[in-house]
A and B are shown apart, each in its own frame.
Chain A
């Protein structure tokens, strides 16, 4: 069953106006406490430098300063690799690395005070490219790479400290040499994707205070309250229960508000000040906080003359910047998404997560899949051209179907890749002529293993309260969970409350990432409601998905549940200027069972639009490690008048599992647009598809076609 484009007015009516239309919603940046101070960060102007001296002697007396000496004795942290201290104590590793911080009575006083701190540095050699950073003799960022005890370090990691590699993930499936020997045709190409900024409309914001009995309380916009609590516990040497994280709704996150961002600095300032301290980032600081991994991906793909795929070798270099953050996880997902949803008997993948002197890169809507799909799906079209096959037919011939094994060895169920491909091809008019048209398919894993739990409580007034750690960042998770609970409890949704998550109250949850929350929490809820109905008071439910991959072979269970989708694009190119115009963009996403149709549609539309930005113009530019477009005038994000015709199908199946839709439609969009360009003979390897790149590629084609054969 396919849901057509939404009609307005089909949602349920509520009595109170939504706090988002009245402006009454309170985000993390709106939290205030009496007597609080405001923080400002002092950052390194060097990409790699020894921090020699931090001088705070010219600060006014009422300003609290945090320097390396204050944090030297605190624990190392890092959600996957413990490679970070609260401030850059010995060496600053990127332009923007926090070396000190202040807290003052107003944001303005804090900014002025931060200017008064003097820091002496000794500049060191730096490296910015991931491939270069792995070469012998490259500057080494971290000496030791201890694997974190945080729950976010959920898979086997293979750091190689002497060459800036914090994780090397492998897939070894079949015999790659034999595979290529069996191939009639082999295509090979190297692709690059740039760093990108999440640009949540609300910047990172957090507030910390210490209670009289020495507990730490933090209000922060976070997708990962429990992972954050674990790392803070390690930093301060406290039992986790002595730390309380309260996670108000966020004005957008897209992966950026994860793990420890500024919470540790603000907590240190609050402890030193003996008062609550709040930080709201300036916009330009977002580019110095967390971005998307730039990637270099080499693909070698072999097939028989009839198009049957026989071998694929992929090498990914994921540039994680100065600190690993969840880069190892991103590199791993990039690695296991890169074979694509195809039956390939011989697969060999090496995916490296590499340190460089750039700001840290971490979770970003798509989580490695955007990069992998760009490389993988562009290569499918290279192969189709070489074989003289229709790119759709080539994909349909090889695409995974129910019961097939993926290259990780797991058997695939509830598989809809072919449906998605056929749907997008139909909508884009594929069979009426393929010029200017392109398509791409995506497979993306969900966080595996992970655990979600939920408590449902009956209130005296006949209403219910759901206690659950799921973060709300605009994806509508709180409402979806309320709707699911209401449905199971047999009450209207207004009778189900969802208070702001507070780790003192809510049960454990892995985190709100990888589009897993509605699916996992929905399952936990079934048990919680069943228990509640039994005892009339309280029910607890839990959902665990087990699995994981052997990091040395990539065999095991990559995901208990696969996000599946396809995109198709129709483009026009002005070959004089290189200007690329997307005329029509269509995606078809396997949605399983949809809980909240307007929210599902919005998630899908939002993913497509973000994918369009990634395809056409989003790129963080650097000059020797310095971000050169850290503002919304130089870094463009899609606006209403940038959009082409956008349509989509959410493919539903009655009785199916819920499928998270937060990011499925993003990764195939750039690849579909790139393939549409390729159908015009314009082969662009690197994102974004700027006029310069398009022009350069069409020049190359002209030269090639003019050359004597």
Chain B
């Protein structure tokens, strides 16, 4: 199959990459763009280790054909800078062991908190249904989500203003 060129925005930067038409976005992000925070575990869209945000929504890049990312905005944790409130919350709570699932968890929670700034525990757990953690850090991940919600609320208070966009 002939490789094709795909264009999208990755973590705020426009990129153009080569991909096979039947290749998944995960392979392209890792091989062509050197991103290591997107990781394969199940390859079936079940575990969330390969999560990225596509136009702000969490998706499994292991089952998204790379050409379908054409023209989209893709965000991975590399694009969050390291001090995003959800990342800070994960560190504070120590909501990880091996850290393999952590980027996917962080992105899923970021997207959740943008839609629902103060989710209850039940809602958080349900939102994490597509993110598995074999180390079993779920209790602390839920705590981290709650802590992140508090940090984000604090940021919003400190930067009030009409139509203040969610912090990203």
| Known interface pairs A199-B134, A605-B136; A641-B94 also in contact (CB < 8 Å) | no
B52-110 CB contacts (< 8 Å) to partner A = 76-78, 80, 82-83, 87, 89-94, 96-103, 106
Q: What's the Cα separation between A683 and B41 when bound, in Å?
A: 36
A430 interface residue (CB < 8 Å to B): no
* Complex interface: chain A residues within 8 A of B118 (CB): none
Q: What's the Cα separation between A21 and B92 when bound, in Å?
A: 11
* 1/0 contact string of A200-219 vs chain B (CB within 8 Å): 11110000000000000000
A7-53 CB contacts (< 8 Å) to partner B = 8-9, 11, 14, 17-27, 29-30
Q: CB within 8 A of B138: which of A6, A9, A14, A609?
A: A609
A183 interface residue (CB < 8 Å to B): no
Q: Decide: A25 and B134 in contact? CB cutoff 8 A.
A: no
A250 interface residue (CB < 8 Å to B): yes
* Complex interface: chain B residues within 8 A of A474 (CB): 96-100, 135
Q: What's the Cα separation between A606 and B97 when bound, in Å?
A: 9
Please name the residue on chain A nearest to B80 by beta carbon: A22
A387-420 CB contacts (< 8 Å) to partner B = none
Please name the residue on chain B nearest to A286 by beta carbon: B41
Q: What's the Cα separation between A29 and B100 when bound, in Å?
A: 11
Kindly provide the distance from the CB of A473 to the nearest chain B CB, expressed in whole angstroms. 6
Q: What's the Cα separation between A609 and B136 when bound, in Å?
A: 6
* 1/0 contact string of B20-35 vs chain A (CB within 8 Å): 0000000000000001
Kindly provide the distance from the CB of B90 to the nearest chain A CB, expressed in whole angstroms. 5
Size bin of chain B's contact surface: 35 or more
Q: Decide: A23 and B134 in contact? CB cutoff 8 A.
A: no
Q: What's the Cα separation between A203 and B80 when bound, in Å?
A: 26
| Known interface pairs A201-B134, A640-B129; A631-B44 also in contact (CB < 8 Å) | yes
Q: What's the Cα separation between A23 and B90 when bound, in Å?
A: 12
Please name the residue on chain A nearest to B30 by beta carbon: A30
Kindly provide the distance from the CB of B140 to the nearest chain A CB, expressed in whole angstroms. 6
Q: What's the Cα separation between A643 and B146 when bound, in Å?
A: 17
* 1/0 contact string of B123-144 vs chain A (CB within 8 Å): 0111011011111111111111
Please name the residue on chain A nearest to B144 by beta carbon: A8
Kindly provide the distance from the CB of B134 to the nearest chain A CB, expressed in whole angstroms. 5
A638 interface residue (CB < 8 Å to B): yes
Q: CB within 8 A of B46: which of A200, A250, A633?
A: A633
| Known interface pairs A8-B93, A605-B140, A640-B129; A23-B103 also in contact (CB < 8 Å) | yes
16 sample A-B contacts, Cβ–Cβ < 8 Å, listed by A number: A8-B92, A20-B98, A20-B102, A21-B77, A22-B87, A200-B98, A201-B39, A201-B49, A201-B100, A251-B98, A473-B98, A606-B137, A607-B136, A631-B42, A639-B138, A640-B129
Known: A203-B40, A640-B141. 13 other contacts (CB 8 A): A20-B102, A21-B82, A21-B96, A22-B77, A23-B36, A26-B36, A199-B134, A200-B134, A202-B41, A474-B98, A608-B136, A632-B47, A639-B129
Residues of A within 8 A of B (CB): 6, 8-9, 11, 14, 17-27, 29-30, 198-203, 249-252, 254, 282-283, 473-476, 598-599, 601-603, 605-610, 631-633, 637-641, 643, 646
